[in-house]
Amino acid sequence: MKAASIFETKPVFSFEVFPPKPDVPIENIFRTLGELRELHPDFISVTYGAGGSVPGASTAEICETIQEQHGIPAIAHLPCINETRESVLEKLAQFRARHVENILALRGDRNPNVEPKHDFSHADDLITFIRENSADGEFDIAAACYPEGHPESTDLDTDIRYVKQKVDAGASHLISQLFYSNRDFYSFREKLAAAGVSVPVEAGIMPVTSKKSIERMVSLCGASIPNRLAKLLARYANDAASLKAAGLEYAIEQILDLQENCVDGIHLYTMNNPDVARYITEAVRA
């Protein structure tokens, strides 16, 4: 099933998982998927599994498992900064072979230790390439967006122009990077509409489960920490269990408010933790 078609009938509720690292048993991801299936997500996206994943657990293989064994549409992440045209064609062939028809086209994060390839400078280049090298409608292509602007953008208005380029190139819907202020998301949504972007925009929610993990993610994506969340981080700096509990409640409040304000969908970054996904899903669907 094409993920874009789900937005036509209802607000979407979806999950993100990632391939296991080499030191993690492959059974863990299969166990996680089995538990997530019980929560009936509309689709599950799978981050890009580079050479660091265990054998048999690539992005394409996990997507196939999600679809064939669990009956849930899957979206394969495909960052292009370290890909060539030839390697992307190879991955498209892998997706076809495993019946993966949904792709999240990304530029990907720069790695200072890796010299990037030069075939694709931006995600819209990748989207165009996929469209040109696949049958009409063969792949449904999603793209990413940053409610507070991409860390490398000069300003939010410039970043929104880049988002529009992705949509004009063929992205059928958008999945946002994490954010912790719904006001930022609503403002971003209004700016997108003013720029002529009318595709569905799914709000990416990453629960705060530890101080260290959230500081790392914020440093990578450039998201800001609102005062209320900063106070929670300070209050429970030495109490990991209480911080996790407060972080989950913060995420639930975020989602409920987004749902009340007619969000197109919620994309929950599960961090491969089905207990976290279950707690939040049951709370917002109650």
Residues with a known catalytic role = 16
Q: What are phi and psi of 52, to 5 degrees?
A: -85, -5
Long-range contacts of 152-155 (CB under 8 A, 24+ apart): none
Q: What are phi and psi of 142, to 5 degrees?
A: -100, 165
Task: Find out whether 1 and 255 touch, Cβ atoms under 8 Å.
Answer: no
76 strand-pairing partners: 46, 103
Long-range contacts of 228-236 (CB under 8 A, 24+ apart): 229/180, 232/208, 233/208
Distance separating alpha carbons of residues 10 and 15, to the nearest angstrom = 16
Residues 180/286/38/139 CA torsion (nearest 10 deg): -50
Q: Residue 216: which residues within 8 A CB-CB, separation 6 or more?
A: none
